[in-house]
Structure formats: structure tokens, C-alpha cells
Chain A
Amino acid sequence: MSFLLFVEQLLNGLQFGVMLFLTAAGLTLVFGVMGLINLAHGSLIMVGAFAAATVSAATGSYLLAIAASIVGAAAAGAIIEMLVIRRLYKRDHLDQVLATFALILIFSEGTRYVFGSFPLYLNIPPYLAGPVTLPGGIEYPLYRLTIIVVGLLIAAGLFLLIARTRIGIQIRAGESDREMIAALGVDISRLYTLVFALGAGLAGLAGAMIGAIQSVQVGMGEPILILAFVVIVIGGIGSIKGALIGSILVGVTDTMGGILLPAFFRLFMDNSAAMSTGSALATMSIYILMALVLILKPSGLYGGKA
């Protein structure tokens, strides 16, 4: 395998990881602050993607589409938080799983009802289409590079938000001591809605970004959601830093596994056998990574106590 291909795949892994981070950050925040496991987070990815596709089709503007994905998903998040989710904070995990599973059914079928079963497409705008040449002569799609940059900027912004701002202080306080911040006069139910909507907005953004690479369709969110769970298990629950490191690890493992493992098996197998063994193992590689973390550090790389 050539060096160029290697770097390109590495970048693809990074881009995938950044996407996972946008999903995992919201999940881990919601769990850290409210103690809630939200399966419907994947639906918010889908909502964001559909909002973007609709606005893009109507206006032709990619920027407006991106804005719509964030606003649409955040609004959907705020609504379900107020209608359903807030009744679940004090419930056990089983109730949370079932209720948010019910939300998936409602969101998925509702979207299918409105938009039909055929996938929509979200086009990459002309000014982001095509490749750029990176130092070292590597050609790489500008759109994917933009995703990496934007994702990393958002990660940085999130760190600043949590470390420096008033709302960040409240979030951190909410993670450690709920009664305390209520006693300090913070409107806790508003804070929860806000955190939930923030996570939803990030998921929506991820949806719009993915939508332009793949297609926009019902059920697109859940595979990403499950990978985001893997990220959280690896990174440690409630930790934004863990989510970032975990996302990149998972993203890179996934893409690199897909090319390295078949190449590895080609060393001592014939081509087609190596291809099928390698790619079968590659689909399992991130889960094997997760299993290793579980064996070595059950609470995740940056987690507290499991």
C-alpha cells in the first residue's frame, strides 16, 4: 500500500471520528448531567439531515441547510425533552431505554410518512466540491477536509464552553451535585432542556454533514448512534475529552482496519479469501478495540468508576 493511500485513509478515519464526536458529545453530556441514556439520539441525526435536505432543496443554499439541521434538531430535541425525556430522569435505565426506543419508532415512521421511503440527496456545494492538494502532494476532497476542521473547531468550542462559561460551570456542577445547583438558584429544568437541545443540535449537524456524503434516509442515525456508544464505552462516560479521543480512535480503527486487514491477510492467503476474511474482521475491529478497553480499563480511558 502506498504512503499516499495510507494518509488518505488516515484522514478519512479522522473525518469519520469527528463525525462520531459530534454525536457522542451530546450523548455523553446528557448522560453525565442528567443520567439519561437516550437511544433516540440517532433520530436527531436523521432529523438534522432531513431538515438540511429540505432547506437545501428549497433554497439551494448549503449554509442555510446546515443552519436548518442544527436548529431543526435542537428544536426537536427541546420538544421531546419537555414532552417525554424529563419524565425519565428519575426512572431506571430500562424505562429510559424503552421510552427512547418508542421515540425512535415514532420518529422513524413519522419521517417515512412525511418523506417516503426513498432516500433524499444533499449536494455538496460547488465551493466545497473537488479535491485540494495538501502538503506532500496528497489530493484530498475539500468537503471532507472542511468537516475535519469544523468538527475540531466545534470540539474546541465545546471545551471552552464547559471550562469557561457560566453555563459550563452549571453543567459541571450538574454532573457532580444536582441538589447543590438547584439550591444555588439555577433553573435546573431549563438547564436540562438547554443541554439536551445542545446535544441534539450537534447530532443534527452531524446528520447534515453525513447526509452530503451518504444519503439522507430513515434509519441513518442508529448505526452512528451505536458507534457513538462504542466511543463512549472506550472514552469513559460523561467525559468530553474521552468522547473526542474515543471518536478518533474508533474512526481511524474502522477505516484503517478496512484496508490494512485485507492487505495483511493477502500476505498468506489468496486474494479473494484475504478480501473476505479481512473485511469480515474489519467490521469487527472496533468492537474488538472496545473489548480490549473493557478488559484493561472497564470504566473507559477517561471515565470515573464504571
Chain B
Amino acid sequence: MTREATFNGFVSLALLLFPLWAWWADEPFMITLATKVAILGLAGVGLNIALGLGGLVSLGHAAFFGIGGYAMGILASHAQSYAPLMEWPFLIEGTKSMPIIWIVALIASAVAALLIGALSLRTSGVYFIMITLAFGQMLYYFAISWSAYGGEDGLSIYVRNGFPGMNTLDPIQFFIIAYVLLMIAILFASRLARSAFGLALNAARQTPVRAETVGIVPYRLQLVAFTLSGAITGLAGALFADLNRFVSPTMLSWQTSGEIMVFLILGGTARLFGPVVGAAVFIILEEILGDFSDYWHIHLGVLLLLIVLFARGGIIGLVAGEEKRHA
């Protein structure tokens, strides 16, 4: 086993054992922190497919995160007010069922990613960054002006949505749900990286002209990758909204996009567990630094700057050695 694989095993175990300890010690807040790490890590695993594997520097992934969040918020708010979403041409009612919400979140964010990707991928490099950022901002402003669903104030959901056979109000049970989804997504990402698609996508990032000369269309590969990526981040958004029982335009803001990207770089770009490690470090810093300074973002900024300038492999790079990063 490589050092990275050992480290990954350690991370998955630690992320599971920590909340179990907190549960035993009756520290529900600690469980919530671990749940947050799992969910934000999931959002990062989504972005990592586009960015790490595909080399697509998307600064608009908050759009998908937020769409997932609003999928949850809209469905659940209709369910709690017993008002159907629409009655014509057919009846659509709200729901408080997590699995259904997840499917809607996955589909809605995949469709959004397909549309945004289809336009943005007509360009590349710095254009791509600016365009994904701009489309993200478009949805942000749209959510603010969409008064039917809370506008700037967002939507509150009184009771967390349900999952068959589980009590989702119990923090540890909700954590388990998030953790299992994270692990499934990581498994998928690792299979994807080694699949035919992953090989082609990875090659198209490094040498698009070669891909074309062997009969592979980079645009199509990248669009599929971007769509998958957006869908996974959207699923994370639905969970995040469920964790907070609240969704607002903040989830769609460009800062959110930046933060998801920061998880990747803190942990190590294109590393399987990079986003999880990055999200964990981010949450830990927020808790520790946030305790003694209201201005902890300065420290985060300096740390991020140092990592970008001097430790390009991120934390996993420091632990596992061998620089492995792209874009």
C-alpha cells in the first residue's frame, strides 16, 4: 500500500471515529462539525472531478451547491406548508423524504452544470474561470430576487427531512448518512479516475490535441465530467441545507465557490481524499482561530497563500510526498 492509501485509510477512520467518540461523550456539537466536514468534503469531491481530473478550474461550483440546497428548501417548504409546487399540468407536491430530495438535487444540479458547462467549455483557460464565476453570480442574484422562496432572507425548514428507518434528528444518525454518501462518492471518484473515461479525460487535460488525433472529442469528455462534478456538488448542497435546516443565497455566492476550491488546495488537488482533508482543516481552523479572533479569515488567507506559493501538493502532498497535481 502506498503512503497515500494508508493516509486515506487513516482519514476515513478518523472521520468516523471522532463523531462516534463525541456521541459517547455526549458532545453533539462535535458531531455536527464532523457532519459538516463530510458534507463539505463531498462538495469538494464533486469539484475535484472537474478540477483535479479534468483540469477545469471552475469558480462557479457554488451554483450547483446552491441549487442542491434550494432543491431541498423548495421541496421541503412546500411539504411543510402543504401547498403543492404546481397543480397544472400535473400535480407536484413537496416532500420531506431525503432520498427523493437527493435525486431531485442531483438531477437539477446536473442539468444546470450541463447548460453552464456547454457554454463555458466553448472557451478555456482564464475565460473559463471568469465565465463559470459569472454564471454562478447570475444564479446568486436570481435567488436574491426570487421572493417566492425567501429572496435574500432564504428559506427555513422547521424539521429535518426524513430517511426511511432512521431518525435524522439524531446528530449521529444524520452524520452516518452524510458519511456513507461521502464514501460512495469517493469510491465513484476513484473508479472514475481509473476508468476509460478517466484516462481519456486526464489525457485531454494534458494534451487535448492528442485526444483529438485518436478520435476523442475533449469538449464532450469535459462536459460529461463537468456535469457529473456539478451533480455531486449539488447533492452535497442538499445535505448542507438539511444540516442547517436553512438555505439562502449565500450558498450560491462566489465566496462559497472559492471556499470549495480552497478545500481542494489545502488537502491537495487531484488527490482522492484531498477535499476531505481540506474541509477538515478548514473547519478546524474556523473553530480554533475563530475562537480567539473574529478576523480568522486573515490567517486563512495567509495560510492559503503560503500553501499556493510554497507547498503546492497541499497537506496530502506533505504527508505522502511525490507531487501530483494538475490544472
Query: Cβ of A109 and Cβ of B125 under 8 Å apart?
Result: no
A99 CA to B146 CA in the complex, in Å?
34
How many pairs, one residue from A and one from B, have CB atoms within 8 Å of each other in the complex?
A: 126
- Asked whether B312 lies within 8 Å of A95 as measured between CB atoms, the reply is yes
B21 at the interface (CB under 8 A from A): no
A94 touches B327 (CB 8 A): yes
What is the CB-to-nearest-CB distance from A242 to chain B, in angstroms, rounded to a whole number?
13
Number of residues on chain A facing chain B (CB within 8 A):
43
Q: List 22 A-B contacts (CB under 8 A).
A: A84-B309, A94-B269, A97-B59, A99-B305, A101-B304, A102-B302, A102-B308, A106-B297, A109-B298, A109-B301, A110-B298, A112-B295, A113-B298, A233-B131, A233-B134, A237-B127, A276-B145, A283-B145, A284-B142, A290-B134, A298-B123, A306-B125
Residues of the B chain whose Cβ atoms lie less than 8 Å from the Cβ of A222:
254
Q: Report the Cα distance A18→B212, complex, angstroms.
A: 43
Residue B106 interfacial (CB < 8 Å): no
Task: For A101, list chain B residues within 8 Å (CB).
Answer: 258, 261-262, 304
Q: A106 touching B123 by the CB < 8 A rule?
A: no
A residues within 8 Å of B by Cβ? 31, 37, 84, 87, 92-95, 97-99, 101-106, 108-110, 112-113, 222-223, 226, 229-230, 232-233, 237, 276, 279-280, 283-284, 287, 290-291, 294-295, 298-299, 306
Q: Chain B 256-273, CB within 8 Å of chain A: the 1/0 string?
A: 001001100100010000
User: What B residues does A103 contact at CB under 8 A?
Assistant: 301, 305
Which chain A positions have C-beta within 8 A of B305?
Answer: 84, 99, 102-103, 106
B125's partner among A93, A99, A105, A230 (CB-CB below 8 A) is A93
Q: How far is the CB of B52 from chain A (nearest CB, A)?
A: 10
B145, B258, B301: which contacts A279 (Cβ < 8 A)? Answer: B145
User: Residue-by-residue, is B83-119 near A (CB-CB < 8 Å gives 1, otherwise 0)?
Assistant: 0000000000000000000000000000000000001
Alpha-carbon distance between A287 and B120 when the two chains are bound, in angstroms: 12
**Residues from 120 to 172 in B contacting A, C-beta threshold 8 Å:** 120, 122-127, 129-131, 133-135, 137-138, 141-142, 144-148
Q: Does B20 contact A (CB under 8 A)?
A: no
Residues in A with CB closer than 8 Å to B120 are: 294
The answer to whether B22 has its CB under 8 Å from any CB of chain A is no
A102 touches B141 (CB 8 A): no
Q: Are A287 and B134 in contact (CB under 8 A)?
A: yes
> Interface residues of A: mostly helix, strand, loop or mixed?
helix
Pair B146/A97 contact, Cβ less than 8 Å:
no
Q: How far is the CB of A275 from chain B (nearest CB, A)?
A: 10
Taken together as a complex, chains A and B put the C-alpha atoms of A37 and B265 apart, in Å, by 17
B300 at the interface (CB under 8 A from A): yes
Q: Contacting B304 at CB < 8 Å: which of A105, A280, A290, A299? A: A105
A237 to B308, CA, bound (A): 25
Q: Nearest chain-A residue to B115 (Cβ)? A: A291
Residue of B nearest to A303 (CB): B127
**Chain A hits for B254, CB < 8 A:** 222, 226
Neighbour of B308 across the interface among A98, A109, A279, A295, CB < 8 A: A98
**A105 to B122 CA separation, bound complex (whole angstroms):** 31
Return the contact of A106 from the options B59, B138, B258, B302 (Cβ within 8 A).
Answer: B302
Q: Are B123 and A99 in contact (CB under 8 A)?
A: no
Taking a contact as CB atoms under 8 Å apart, the answer to whether B308 and A95 are in contact is yes
The interface residues of chain A lying within 8 Å CB-to-CB of B134 are 226, 229-230, 233, 287, 290
For chain B, residues 257 to 313, give those with C-beta under 8 angstroms from any C-beta of chain A. 258, 261-262, 265, 269, 295-298, 300-302, 304-305, 308-309, 312
